[in-house]
Amino acid sequence: MTKVLITGSNSFVGSNFRRFSQYKDIVEVSLLNNRPEDIEFNKYDVVLHLAAIVHQSKKIKEQEYYLINRDLCLRVAELARRAGVKQFIFLSTVKVYGKFVQGSDPWNEDSYCHPEDAYGKSKYEAELALRKLEDLGFTVSIVRTPIVYGPGVKANMLRLIRLIEKVPVLPFKNVNNSRCYTYSGNLIGYIDRIIEINASGIFLVMDDSSLSTTDLVTFLAKFLGKRIVLYKVPELFVRFLLSVKTGAVDRLFGSFFLDNSKTKEFLKYKPLFSNEEGIGKMISYYLETKASKYLN
């Protein structure tokens, strides 16, 4: 039986891996409470490395991103390799590509990477260093994803859900953008397949269809049971906001395009869930959890 160690405890992706994965012999370890040198890696076949600093609302020094996302990751990988672990899976991000230029070709597994911030740079430097550790007995699998959503989601997606719950009139009518997302059930399906065939390389993991912000908000409101009114923001105003390059505005009104046909062909895998199914399952869990907290 394949034994999987998740480095990084109580994470959103980790909890979903335990929920959806076909692999059941799973152990999580905190890297806040444990030194990598104290972990018995020789007990495991696969390490799924999730410990990371992602984009934070609070100010974090740039060096912290490199210490955790690159240096700590490499320490874990080197120790795992030395202990005889067969496969190391690193959860990366599409932020390694940098800023999407409208009109350019979709990003794919082989696209040039030019990350713009400490988060993207630290993840990309970790990718490059990990690939150098790979040998015949140690497979390195790099999984790049756009925003991941699903049961227990946090950060920006949770903020949008709560906004729709509280505000019945929102400025998202006819937003003709296109953004890719990854439902956690689809992400775990891809990771399971990567483990199953011991796949080496860079994998771009996402849902089969992209969404506009209008579609996303409409689906969220539908499953929340909320009636909302959408109004359109003038195009010139949106262009001005995008020119300022604030992250939140870009996520809501900007576009980027991905092509993961190479990943699907190599893995011979097709995501099991549509966007709408994934959003429905996420909101169902959200409402159940909310009701449970209220009752208790």
Catalytic residues: 119
Return the closest-CA partner of residue 178 out of 143, 144, 146, 223.
146
Under a CB-based contact definition with an 8 Å cutoff, are residues 88 and 139 in contact?
yes
Return the closest-CA partner of residue 157 out of 175, 183, 177.
183
DSSP secondary structure string, 262-273? HHHHHHT---S-
| Token pair belonging to 49 | 């490395």
Cβ neighbours of 216 (radius 10 Å): 22
Q: How far apart are CA 52 and CA 65, in angstroms?
A: 8
What phi and psi, each to the nearest 5 degrees, are found at residue 33?
A: -105, -5
CA-CA distance, 193 to 199, in Å (whole number)?
8
- Three-class SS of residue 80? helix
Paired residues of 48 in beta bridges: 6, 89
Q: What are phi and psi of 188, to 5 degrees?
A: -65, -35
CA distance 140 to 203: 11
Which structure tokens are listed for 140? 């390195």
Are 79 and 138 a contacting pair, CB within 8 Å? no
Position of tokens 């020119």? Answer: 243
